[in-house]
């Protein structure tokens, strides 16, 4: 039975904590038994019955937004890294001072950009870590964490791959860009489909898509992350062709339902 939307958030937190103490061991047993889909359905049932507090809905929104930031930054950094490598391989003769000074300045500018991207990656990862800490006890986050233990989760989802193809992404070509892991500053590699910063997609389209990011008010416990990381919290991304979805509208909006299934539940029969 679904709880009333008017239930106080304090009581909702208590219910999530109590239900998790009961159901987490069952979820773990199901996964050890190779019944991952059943464990995911159990988590989804808990989520549908108890829901999330207003803060938690904001956290999951921020998590997906921040994750998209990370993919954008990683592909932008890859582009700049290729530019830097090309410049390093084309060092001009040292007997022309003006040409050499111009070359060194361009090289330093590229290195500054790479350092900025590395800082951006570290900051977005800090935000993701904070949001995980805030959401980690919820059935929804446990489902998302389980889904992503499979390194190829984003490739196994047929709808997600078809979406990439429709948007002109690399799943529609033989380059294999979507299958390549993107190194982060942490111990984990980021895996995901193409963003507007994919150089391969730029070449296919014949133009670059302009990405605009705007910042809003940061979350509460901002002292838990670095200062530069604060600007990624409650940030909004916009660009031509971007697919928007609202986790709250999973039951009423088909796009939101598809994306939530791809990113969180994985209930399409591809695992046990």
Q: What is the pLDDT of residues 198-208, one digit of tens each?
A: 888 877 777 77
Residue 184: pLDDT over 60: no
pLDDT value of residue 163: 84
CA neighbor of 19 nearest in space, from 37, 3, 36, 35: 3
- Which H/E stretch holds residue 140? helix 139-147
* pLDDT over 60 (residue 106): yes
pLDDT class of 270 with cuts at 50, 70, 90: low
- Compute the average pLDDT of residues 149-160: 83
- Find the mean pLDDT for residues 137-153: 90
Q: What is the DSSP letter of 5?
A: T
pTM of the model: 0.79
Q: What is the DSSP code string of 41-52? A: HHHHHHHHHH--
Question: Positive or negative CA dihedral for 73, 79, 85, 90?
Answer: negative
pLDDT at res. 5: 65
Query: Which carries the bigger pLDDT value, residue 255 or residue 186?
Result: 255
Residue closest to 139 by CA, chosen among 56, 262, 224: 56
Residue with the larger pLDDT of the pair 180 and 140: 140
Asked if pLDDT for residue 127 goes beyond 80, the answer is yes
| Range among 39-48, 174-183, 245-254 with highest mean pLDDT value | 39-48
Cβ–Cβ < 8 Å for 20, 136: no
Task: Work out whether the CA dihedral 148, 152, 156, 160 comes out positive or negative.
Answer: positive
Q: What is the pLDDT of residue 265?
A: 94
Q: How far apart are CA 264 and CA 52, in angstroms?
A: 15
State the distance between the two ends of the chain, measured CA to CA, in whole angstroms.
27
DSSP 209: P
Q: Parallel, antiparallel, or unpaired: how do β-strands 189-190 and 212-214 relate? A: unpaired
State mean pLDDT over 189-204. Answer: 77
The residue ranking higher by pLDDT, 23 or 220, is 23
C-alpha 168/C-alpha 198 separation (Å) is 11
- According to DSSP, the residues that pair with 212 across neighbouring strands are 238
216-237 pLDDT, tens digit per residue, is 433 333 344 444 444 545 456 7
The Cα–Cα gap between 135 and 133 comes to: 6
pLDDT exceeds cutoff 60 at 246:
yes
For residue 188, what pLDDT band results from cuts at 50, 70 and 90? low
- β-pair type (182-183, 189-190): antiparallel
Instruction: Report the phi/psi class of residue 269: left, alpha or beta, with left for phi > 0 and alpha for psi in -120 to 50.
Output: left
């Amino acid at each position: 039975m679904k709880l009333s939307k008017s239930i106080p958030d304090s009581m909702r937190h208590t219910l999530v904590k109590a239900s998790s103490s009961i159901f987490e061991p069952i979820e773990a047993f199901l996964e050890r038994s190779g019944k991952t889909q059943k464990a995911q359905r159990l988590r989804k049932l808990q989520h549908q019955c108890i829901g999330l507090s207003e803060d938690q809905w904001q956290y999951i929104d921020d998590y997906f937004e921040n994750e998209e930031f990370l993919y954008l930054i990683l592909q932008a950094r890859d582009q700049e890294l290729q530019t830097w490598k090309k410049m390093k391989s084309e060092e001009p003769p040292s007997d022309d001072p003006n040409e050499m000074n111009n070359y060194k300045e361009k090289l330093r500018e590229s290195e500054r950009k790479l350092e900025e991207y590395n800082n951006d990656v570290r900051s977005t990862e800090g935000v993701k870590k904070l949001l995980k800490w805030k959401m980690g006890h919820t059935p929804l986050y446990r489902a998302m964490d389980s889904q992503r233990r499979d390194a190829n989760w984003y490739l196994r989802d047929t709808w997600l791959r078809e979406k990439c193809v429709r948007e002109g992404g690399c799943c529609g070509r033989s380059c294999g860009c979507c299958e390549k892991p993107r190194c982060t500053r942490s111990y984990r590699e980021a895996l995901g489909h193409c963003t507007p910063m994919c150089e391969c997609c730029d070449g296919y389209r014949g133009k670059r898509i302009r990405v605009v990011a705007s910042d809003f008010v940061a979350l509460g416990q901002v002292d838990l992350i670095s200062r530069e990381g604060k600007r990624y919290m409650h940030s909004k991304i916009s660009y031509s062709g971007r697919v928007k979805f609202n986790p709250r509208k999973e039951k009423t909006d088909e796009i939101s339902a598809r994306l939530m299934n791809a990113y969180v539940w994985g209930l399409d029969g591809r695992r046990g």
